[in-house]
Amino acid sequence: MTLALLLAGCNTPGPAFRGIDPVRITVRGDMFDVRVDHLRAQAIRLNMRWTPNINAVAPQGVAAIERVSGCRVRKLDGDAAVMTARLDCGQRLAPLPRGQEYDCDVYEIVDGLAELSCEAVRY
C-alpha cells in the first residue's frame, strides 16, 4: 500500500496543471506525462535514469512538449524530473491527439525543432 502511494506521487502535477489529463509520450527512451494549459506546459519524466541532469533530459522533454502541444517551447525551467515550459504557438505544429500513449523517435532536427515519428502504443 505504501509503495502504491509513493508511486502515485511520482506523477502528481503542480497546482497550475491539476485537473488536466496528461498525454504519455516516450522520446528516445525517456517517458513523460505532458500536460498543456494554453501557453504553458509541464512534462513529468516517469522513467528511471542513472544520475540524470537537466542537460541530458531537456532535449527529450522539449521534443515531447512540442509534439503534444503543437507549439514551440520558448522557455524551459525545472529539473531532470519536472520541466515547465512557456510556449510560442505562433507557428502551429500538428499536436498529438489526446487520450493515448505514444512512443516516438527523433528522425530530424530542423532549426532547433525536433521532428518526431510517433506511434500510438497498443496494449
Report the distance separating Cα 54 and Cα 59, nearest Å. Answer: 9
CA angle 18, 26, 4 (to 5 degrees): 55
Q: Could you tell me if residue 48 is inside a domain? A: yes
Q: Is residue 4 part of a domain?
A: no
Contact predicate 113/66, CB 8 Å:
yes
Give a yes or no: residue 30 inside a domain. yes
Give 14-32 pLDDT, tens digit per residue.
777 888 999 999 998 999 9
* pLDDT tens sequence across 60-118: 999 999 999 999 898 999 999 999 999 998 877 777 777 778 888 776 666 656 677 77
Does residue 105 fall inside a structural domain? yes
Characterise 46 by phi-psi region: left (phi > 0), alpha (psi -120 to 50), beta (else). alpha
User: What pLDDT, on a 0 to 100 scale, did the predictor assign at position 33?
Assistant: 96
Question: What's the confidence (pLDDT) of residue 45?
Answer: 96
Question: CB-based contacts of 56: which residues, under 8 Å, 6+ apart?
Answer: 49, 80
Cβ atoms within 10 Å, residue 80: 17
Say how many C-beta atoms besides its own lie within 10 A of residue 51's C-beta. 6
Sequence-ordered list of residues with C-beta below 8 angstroms from that of 107, at least 6 positions apart, any chain: 115, 116, 117
Per the domain annotation, does 31 fall within a domain? yes
Instruction: Tell me the residue range of the domain where 91 lies.
Output: 21-120
Based on the structure, what is the number of domains in the chain?
1
What pLDDT shows up at residue 97? 78
